[in-house]
Structure 1
Amino acid sequence: MIHKLENRAEKIDPSHFELLKVLGQGSFGKVFLVKKRSGRDAKKIYAMKVLKKASLKIRDRERTKLERNILADVRHPFIVELYYAMQTDGKLYLVLEFVKGGDLFTKLSRDFMFSEQDAQFYLAELASALSHLHSLGIIYRDLKPENILLAGDGHVKLTDFGLSKEYFEDEDKKAESFCGTVEYMAPEVVSRKGHDHVCDWWSYAVLMYEMLTGKLPFHGRDRRETMNQILKAKLSMPNFLRQESQLLLRDLFKRNPKNRLGSGPDGPERLKRHIFFKGIDWNALFRKDVKPPFIPMLSGGKTDETDTHWFDNEFTRRTPRDSPAVPASAGANRLFRGFSHNDEPEMQMESKFRNEVPDGFFLTNVPYDGNQDKTFHTQFEMLNSIGKGSASEVYKCQHKTTKKLYAVKGLQNEGMRDDEIQILLRYGQHPNIITVKDIFIEKETKDTFTVYLVTELMTGGELFDKILRQKQFSEREASAVMKTITQTLAYLHKAHVAHRDLKPSNILYADESGDASTVRIVDFGFAKQLRHENGMLMTPHFTKNFVAPEVLSKNSYDVSCDIWSLGCIMYTMLGGVAPYKISEGDSEEVVLKKLSESDLCLSGGNWNHISASAKDLIQQMLSLDVKQRPSAEQVLDHEWIRNGQNLSNSNILTALADPLSANRLIGTSIGVISQARGDKTNLSLKTPAASGLFLRRKKKERG
């Protein structure tokens, strides 16, 4: 169960919720509007889905349990959030966020069709949600207007994961179930030839077609004829649609899933770069900074959390009553072991990492009934080392069931900083921040434990390595990369988070496309959220070539230290070498002297081919006077970023006298590790056989 941990001793059950209204009812149960009676979230309004165990068929029971697990794992601004899950002998309870704007089906029925601009907005938010699900190894399988809710602020919320399924990377292990709403099914689902997550992009195309035309692309007189049309009929494309819309529809309506837009490792990024989505700022969209085309009118006003204006009054006028249910069979109850949470005293050790985890986030190895032995090594296979982070070695790993590849680093509590986990959990869903996929907290001794942090795997490589591999890089591309990094910094700084170790090796590409939108900021081992009254930091954490002078001078500093580092990255990207000629052997005093006394070289060599506006921005970011240094928002407003599309597209790599030497210098620069952490930075991830927990278990087995 997904407790909010306001009190580990509190056992959540249905009596903790006051029934307010009935929102809907089906053959398996009801959905209520409820209010929490007590706890940290007392008086908060939720939607509570109540299912009768005895009414669920065996297949539906399994799907309900999977729905609970998926919703527990997922946190995304455009996906409905699960807060609690619980059960009694006869019923299952899922407590979800209350989305009070109704569903897209109602709006589409009323409007008949959407303008292409309105459709672009809804489709962009849905693409963001689906891409996130697919990155977690989840096929949604039931995309249709009825399952897309509109929040009170007008943004979409994907709901109803009853037909969702985990998918496998192996082509031989595709899902084979015939499920979903037939008009939205992909050909490979209809033909039962096996399907993976790409089937969702066909359903997405059907939804897009319906939004833009007011009708379904394939719809026969009966189920059989509809299925036959999906498999064989020619797509009818209305002439009134813009060329961009027609092109996207044709790219999505590919009967061979391998040719369908959205397939392949870079499929979601290619879809986002499609001309149909021109003008969409995906970062702003994720932050909900893009204004929705429609805000649902609420009869009780925006402040009325219990407003049900957009729900059918056939249900809302009924008296809410959670009637008794027949107890389920022993077999059914065995299946739902682990659906509810069982408080364990030994979890107190973990509480300090969970107290500030965002609502709805789920730690995989939280012990619950029937799941006591779920550990990193039972779920993942450790593969090769892929690098070293600020606090430990980073390894590639593979999920044993889905076969998806991830990255993992192991952190021991003696040298571990709580901030890294908390910051990644709070802000890691940003599209340009590395995403945490799973966390395992495993006791080694009475007082020690190891945290395994599983994240998405960056396959595109480090920023500068990627630039030099492609042998073509222009000032226009540099501006696009800088814009993505700066937008991400602006997002962090708005939340008063300083990264404190921004450098080229901590900026990676998610895939091989090289597109600026796929850049991710990684390694938050030094990151800190400012909490003091004066909003300043004191501890000097840094990498020499990219450290701001105020950090080295042991004075207080703030998030502007990241702007200095950003300036160093931009300088190195355009000039081919790091600024100020800092070497690996330089002491902190020597580095500070070079920063304070050396002139910034912006002439000669490669700089003869760089624009004046680029040099101006670098000078501003590398200002020794912190007060004169621009904020991330001000950097975004600089003409070099704002008008980046107008910059030269000439290859600046050819201007380097010796690009290979420059690359070696960069490699040396980014390999410098701060000494501020002492020996605790030398932690490495050991094999399972080296784990005390593993040895104790083997001893127990032999005994």
Structure 2
Amino acid sequence: MHLFLSCSHHIQKPPLKKKKIKKITLYPLGVITHTYTHIALFTVLPLSAEDGDIKEINITHVVKEGSEKADASQFELLKVLGQGSFGKVFLVRKVTPPDANQLYAMKVLKKATLKVRDRVRTKMERDILADVNHPFVVKLHYGFQTEGKLYLILDFLRGGDLFTRLSKEVMFTEEDVKFYLAELALGLDHLHSLGIIYRDLKPENILLDEEGHIKLTDFGLCKEAIDHEKKAYSFCGTVEYMAPEVVNRQGHTHSADWWSFGVLMFEMLTGALPFQGKDRKETMGLILKARLGMPQFLSTEAQSLLRALFKRNPANRLGSGADGAEEIKRHGFYSTIDWNKLFRKELKPPFRPAVARPDDTFYFDSEFTSRTPKDSPGVPPSAGAHQLFRGFSFIASTLLEEDGSAEPVQPLPHPVVQQLHGKNLLFSDGYVLKEDIGMGSFSVCKRCVHKATNTEYAVKVRTHTCTECRVLLCAFPSQVYDNGKQVFLVTELMRGGELLDRILKQKFFSEREASAVLHTITRTVEYLHSQGVVHRDLKPSNILYVDESGNPESIRICDFGFAKQLRANNGLLMTPCYTANFVAPEVLKRQGYDEGCDIWSLGVLLYTMLAGFTPFANGPEDTPNEILSRIGSGHFSLTGGNWDTVSEAAKELVSKMLHVDPHQRLTAKQVLRHPWIVQRDKLPNSQLPHQDPKLVKGAMAATYSALKNSQPTPELKPIESSFLAQRRVKKLPSTSL
């Protein structure tokens, strides 16, 4: 077993041999930060005697007996997931058995060592890697090398990193934080049990799988590199997350990770870091001496846990005792967590990424995923470095049966349609752009013609990847193309016009027809909700006919620009995006809202179809305050006019869909089971008159205009513009890798 010890220049020669080394100095190295490419490096750090002997064990000669070694030819490069000064990370597909067609993340590096505690120094490296097998830790499946490079084949986590979600959400609810940090605590505890100290815990190193569970990445892996100016850094990683004993070089144990755990908890709960100065030096000073400003909006239990974690004396810090993570688990903040169910992944995550297909990469930076995947030959390392990785190879035991034979793996289906960032195909390869057919705040809609079939479609052209792309790919077989600068969403061409226009122009429209229309729309909304998606802007102009037949089955819901995925269990949406008459009361009050939002909008549509006018706007002369006041109070009339002939079942359904309390509002499933929908044949078939179409549409237009003027539209910017991203500016130098 090779032990690579980087000792400082002040240790006298001859080199230490067969002695118990109490102190060790590691050369200071550079750092990069990116999903899958974060490099956890180590600084010049004298280790205290209490640390035990810490050394770097070379990850070498790790091969599953009786199994073939992997090599680069067994993996097909699909996309670039990340790139930095140390190398690249690719999305790859295995092309050979036993796991053919399986997707992995392939990290290409120049050197990799694993930092472990002295108490496991007698283990072979293969045992250490095999032991790092935990539901909340990224799994290493293969490892191999060429003359100049080292390849690590890891889990591909399609949900991206926690930092990306935190940047979008700004801060999480306490229930969200409790879930993520509970899984994180179990993962950290497993690493600590193996003698691995993480030391650089932060949101970028916490990835999300397709179900929304977390996985730790880059644990204890350090890679050698020197920056372009040949300078050495006295610290590595992100200083804001470092424990005081790491900052002041007093030596550290696993308790340093629990300080970082506290920093992460504080950031997730508040959207800010607990200790952050104008520069690196000031930040270090704050970590060592500043008092913690505790936000009073946090619960008593959350404040108590934070104070227990932010102990500058490591010996007093929660989690530093003999019980380790058990101290964390016993804290009152986690009183509602069933740790056994959590470990078995039986608790639902608060957020489920919108990934419908195996190679979706929405949660990765498009700056990388739009590049052509290419792995160029590496520069051969020095002879000494080459010796360090002689025979490097690793195959995960989970891919083999007990007798060493290959386990059969079902091939993954290849997408029929071109998905985002996939296979380097361009929109222009398959379609011809035609004239504009619509303009929006964030996109333009054009007619296009498919070259092969001469079929006409509509395409929405956006300047960046959007929630709409994720929603459409998650719920519908839409085609999405990305050329790195623009995103093209190909959908059906709506030839039949808007639903409300057609109803108002129709000479004869009955309650029975209204039931058929609502049934079709609600069925679609119910499907969306079953996929965890809310539309949030179901106004009549977003409900169109695909053709001019007028058949309810040809109705389509369009424009998912405001759509958003719901949190899986406990979260409520807070973004105040709405359109005039079709906004629920709780949105106006900026309270949390969920699927009930869409039901409210359908209730407004149903009211308008039956009454012949909108429930909250009487005409174009109504002021915005008047309309919003009526919506907020939930007052509307069900007497007079058409209501004298409309069935009681219809009135009951309208009342339940427009209920001011979202918790008492019907769900989409309940609407579909309502007698007014189920027993359509028994409904009146008499004509429902309506107000003058110009008056109805004029009232709506006036309300939209007034609302737009009174509520300025927020400017949407990419994640890179956020404070969270700016404080972690990533320098991405060019590299030949």
What is the TM-score normalised by the length of structure 2? Answer: 0.42
Which has the bigger relative contact order, CA under 8 A and spacing at least 6?
2
What is the TM-score normalised by the length of structure 1? Answer: 0.44
More helix by share: 1
